[in-house]
A and B are shown apart, each in its own frame.
Chain A
Amino acid sequence: MVYLRDFLSFLGKRALGALAIMFGVVVIVFLISHLLNPDPAALWAGEKARVTTVAAIKAEYHLNQPLDLQLYYFIVNTFTGNFGTDPVTGQNIAQELFFHGFNTIELVVASLIITVIMGIALGYIAGMRYSTKIDALIRTVYLATWATPYYLGAIGVILIFSVALPVLPSGAMYAPGLAPPHPITGIGLIDSLLELNFRDFLSGLQHLILPAAVLAVLDFGIVTRVTRSSVLDVRWSTQVKFALARGVPDPKANRRHILRNALIDATTVSAVMFGWMLSGTIIVEEIFAWPGIGDFAYNAIVQSDYPALIPVVIFFTFGVVIANFLADVTYSLLDPRISLGTARTQG
């Protein structure tokens, strides 16, 4: 089968590209953390650090060695996951990253699911009802939510659903006093289900609703916008007119020629969304006291904990690169022209 071979070579090329980008990311983060500031050891040790502390940090992170060796150690340590111990909490940074990372993945995946469903549905409706009141309403809503800063959204829903009508908790992952499930997969909701611990599951779900909804509602706009404009792109195109002319019933033509085309664009943009949402988690997790990677990053910045901050940046960026890779793969599965090298040109 010719198509499979093309698909596999496309997959290989994209995987290599993603690896190259990851490598470049590590180099750029190195340049920022080691070169942008003339004396990184002093910055990492904090303002009032003793000379001996600065010297110890220099030794631990190889800062007293020539730059090329520093880069070598940095790359090796990053790809082997050896980030040392966190000077503030005294724990292994890689373990901290894993714990917080899975909590963030739980949050982001939950809101990504809401975003994609809501975004595509509303975008499709707006596109099909172009230039009507419904279209204007959906457009205003998505522009307004897109324009809402995360902190306003988070404070707003807490004020409404936790203070005015106290129905949902305003912070943390589980009710106080409830022991979290033992980590199996690392994702709390799945773990508590596997352990048949329904109290944890329900409490976890309750605590997940508000932060996930804030992230989703503030970010669905971009998916809606892309879906709407790709519906508009093909709605009056010849292929749809032809389908209708040869007697394809309306709903079927809409589904096969308009919705399907819109889905392709929505997939690509979902990967971009993933990056946006990761950025958004910093503020949302901070306000909801969700022990995720954004909260971890914020604490690292507040405490000038650079040895912990640098791996977090790399972790975030790798997350985006992997999401982009997955989107590319889905994209080529939905639209075989991509991996066949006859990709349509995007205007």
Chain B
Amino acid sequence: MLQESLSRFRNLAFSNKLSAFGALTTIGFLVLAIAYYVTGGRIAPYNPDATNLFDTNAPPSLVHLFGTDYSGRDIFSRVLAALPVDLSISLLVVFLSLSIGIILGMTAGYIGGFLDEAIMRLSDLFLAFPTIVMALTIAATLPPSLFNVALSLTFVWWPPYTRLVRGGVLAIKSEDYIAVSKTLNSSLSYIMRKGILPNILPAVMVYASLDVGTALISVSSLGFLNVGLPPNTPELGYMVSTIMTVVYSYPWEALLPSVVVLLIVLGFSLFGDGIREAMDVKVRPHMVLKTRFVGETIKEKAGMRGRLREEE
């Protein structure tokens, strides 16, 4: 069962070159971040906080892959140290928003009535706040910590999830099998867990995987504005902002960390976008049939037909 869904996932993710590139980048950066965290930073060539005033603003070389910054810290090591920080905050934002979205969206969609109206108006209200501005204000009000950065972003991040889940529930709610389940006197929580959740989850997860990248841009933007993070946290956006004063003399110091942000976000977007397209029934039949996913299914079917004929 698990193996089957894993292989189906692999087929989806590698169904075209773009999403395969996305999947590989995403997995690569996640592995690096976890490795850095688990080994306690031992995979980094230097201590990310160690300054060396005799070797400042060094250009990228084999000794310092990404060069060094104004106080001689190794930028490559700092980028490695920033990966778990950035990725964990953005994953946490998406996870919290997803949880809020599932609870509120299922309540609004399934129970309906006054609760639906109230939840949807509330999400309209929160949708009006420009994300970075609002997150900035909350993060500036709360004491600086990584968790509070995630909280302040979640504050404005949940409404799209709620709407997506609610829309999914409304589409499924009137299906026959839900009616049958009700007739069989299944409990509300059973219908929600077994009847509705598994059917809306794929679409929501695709959105979430696209969204991690967007969340990461916002996290690093907060970092760039230096709001909410404890002082000297290795964070990609914050790293860029600390070198803004020398950016015209040493552009790589700002460009390399921001290109890492670009690659991570691009990875998540390509990955999510590819899966979404491959799952879309309206569009899939018109895809050019040279992709691995479609190709293999056809081959499999052809093989099965061949076998059936042999048995005849």
Contact = CB atoms under 8 A, between A and B. Distances in A.
B225 A144 contact: no
Contacts of B171: 347
A140 interface: yes
Contacts of B133: 278-279, 282, 297, 312-313, 316-317
Given A131-B288, A136-B18, A149 B237 contact: yes
Interface string A305-347: 0000110110011011100100000000000000000000011
Given A143-B270, A149-B258, A317 B136 contact: no
A147 B282 contact: no
A152 B141 contact: no
Given A143-B270, A279-B130, A32 B138 contact: yes
A37 B141 contact: yes
Contacts of A63: none
B301 to A, nearest CB: 21
Interface string A93-111: 0000000000000000000
Contacts of B262: 144, 147-149, 152
A305 to B, nearest CB: 10
B217 A163 contact: no
Contacts of B287: 131
Contact of B255 (A28, A156, A236, A310): A156
Interface in B252-299: 254-255, 258-259, 261-262, 265-266, 269-270, 273, 282-283, 286-288
Contacts of A156: 255
Interface string A275-308: 1101110110011000000000110011010000
Interface in B102-146: 121, 124-126, 128-134, 136-138, 140-142
Contacts of A297: 133, 136
Contact of B221 (A139, A150, A278): A150
- Interface residue SS majority, chain B: helix
Contacts, number: 148
Interface residues of B, number: 51
A195 interface: no
Interface stretch (B38-46, B175-183, B240-248): B240-248
Contacts of A312: 133
Given A140-B18, A146-B269, A301 B237 contact: no
Given A32-B141, A309-B137, A278 B130 contact: yes
B129 A317 contact: yes
Nearest to B269: A143
Contacts of B18: 136, 139-140, 143
B141 A151 contact: no
A143 B273 contact: yes
B286 A317 contact: no
Contacts of A151: 221, 224, 237, 240-241, 254, 258
A75 interface: no
B15 interface: no
A130 interface: yes
A301 B255 contact: no
A147 B269 contact: yes
Contacts of B131: 275-276, 279
Interface string A115-149: 00000000000000011100010011001101111
Contact of B225 (A232, A236, A301, A347): A301
B220 A32 contact: no
Contacts of B230: none
Contacts of A140: 18
A301 B287 CA distance: 49
Given A131-B286, A147-B265, A275 B130 contact: yes
Contact of A279 (B126, B132, B247, B266): B132
A17 B125 CA distance: 10
A312 B132 CA distance: 13
A159 interface: yes
B210 to A, nearest CB: 10
A130 B255 contact: no
Contacts of B125: 21, 24-25, 28
B303 interface: no
A203 interface: no
A37 B138 CA distance: 10
A313 B266 contact: no
B306 interface: no
Most B-side CB within 10 Å, residue of A28, A149, A276, A282: A149
Contact of B282 (A24, A233, A282, A283): A233
B251 interface: yes
A155 interface: yes
Contacts of B79: none
A239 to B, nearest CB: 14
Contacts of A279: 130-133
Interface of B: 18, 121, 124-126, 128-134, 136-138, 140-142, 167, 171, 213, 217, 220-221, 224-227, 237, 240-241, 244, 247-248, 251, 254-255, 258-259, 261-262, 265-266, 269-270, 273, 282-283, 286-288
8 contacts: A25-B128, A147-B217, A152-B259, A276-B130, A301-B140, A301-B225, A313-B137, A324-B128
Q: Which 5 A-B pairs have the closest CB atoms?
A: A152-B258, A147-B265, A279-B132, A147-B266, A279-B130
Given A139-B273, A147-B217, 19 more contacts: A32-B137, A36-B141, A144-B266, A147-B262, A151-B224, A151-B240, A151-B258, A155-B240, A159-B248, A159-B251, A163-B248, A236-B282, A276-B130, A278-B130, A282-B133, A298-B225, A301-B140, A317-B130, A324-B128
